[in-house]
Amino acid sequence: MMIVMTPAAAQEQIQAVVARLETTGVHVVVMPGELTTAIGAIGDPEGVRELGLEGMPGVDRVVPISRSYKLASSELSHHEPSVFQIGGRTVGGGSTFCLIAGPCTVESREQTLGVARAVKAGGASMLRGGAFKPRTSPFAFKGLGAPALEILAEAREETGLPIVTELLDAQHAGVIEEYADVVQIGARNMQTYALLEVAGKLGKPVLLKRGLSSSLDELLQAADYVLKEGNEAVILCERGIRTFETATRFTLDLGAIPWLKLHTHLPVIVDPSHAPGDRRLVEPLARAAAAVGADGIIVEVHEDPEAALCDGPQSLYASQFGAFAASVAAHAALLGKRLA
Ligand code: PEP
Ligand code: MN
């Protein structure tokens, strides 16, 4: 932490700040400048924050030096990118591209098995499908619940694809743990901190989606909640954020991918479906995600999107998935990655 004094700060005021800092046991360095004095406090930023130094006479501002996210940071312990194996697929590390595909929501056995077969044939790495859905309206279809997980398990049995499904609420943790290979935390729950801790304790890889209005700093601090439970397998997902632009459903923040690659060791994937909310934009955004260095994508696919109970307009046609996957894989190959 750096405490910047006002230009008019008296020597006694500087000494009072130093004395207050020393009560926390941090190492204090006073740096007189031409105009103002800065006081460096090395160690325990949380302890320094709790001192409330902003309120002391002569203090102009308190500036954090170290990053707010710790375990997710590539600065501290982890300088190398994290790599995990999920059902034999490699996620992260720069040599593979993870293609997660499937329906937004499990609607029926036939629908899910149909999509699972199509995405498997097209080269998908994992199968997505929601059993418990976060819906804006309480009157919309909220998923089949636990029976959907049995359908997903059957699809996994048949195709060999690991299952990615959302943990919407802590009360479902047991059943999600039983069936999921990857536990998705949806955008709306990115800051439900108690749920992040529950997910962290399940001991399964967690796919953490960026909140609709969350900064990247907040995303990485949310990842810290999962990581601090001893769960090292966290996959971050950029899925579009709220901006002034309303032409697309959300604005896909492609800049987030190279930024995250600089600041975290965790794998980063992109959801090109929920950002635009429009099937016609999904393939260009998926190609762009691969081109900016994403470790994969998670994309929605349906055999009959017009009849889908959720997110039909953004779902790719299952019949076109093979061509889509080949195009995205070609872009990933430009960065030396092959499909996981
Ligand atoms: C989903 O993946 O179907 C979903 C609801 O995503 P998000 O949480 O990003 O809106
Ligand atoms: Mn969806």
Query: Which residues touch 139 (CB under 8 Å, ≥6 apart)?
Result: none
Residue pLDDT, tens place only, 254-263 = 999 999 999 9
The two counts, helices (H) then strands (E), for the chain are 10, 16
Tokens 């499990």: give the residue: 106
Q: What is the pLDDT of residue 77?
A: 64
Closest residue by CA, ligand 1 atom 1: 104
DSSP string, 101-140: EE-SB---HHHHHHHHHHHHHTT-SEEE-BSS---SSTTS
- Residue type at 104 in one-letter notation: C
Query: Ligand 2 mean position to 106 CA, how many Å?
Result: 11
Report pTM: 0.91
Model confidence at 116, pLDDT cuts 50, 70, 90, reads: very high
Q: Is the pLDDT of residue 76 over 80?
A: no
Query: Ligand 1 mean position to 135 CA, how many Å?
Result: 9
**Rounded to whole angstroms, how far apart are CA atoms 17 and 8?**
15
Strand partners, 298: 100
Out of 126, 166, 297, mutate this one to test ligand 1's pocket (max ligand atoms within 8 Å of CB): namely 166
Tokens 């707010």: give the residue: 68
Query: Ligand 2 mean position to 262 CA, how many Å?
Result: 29
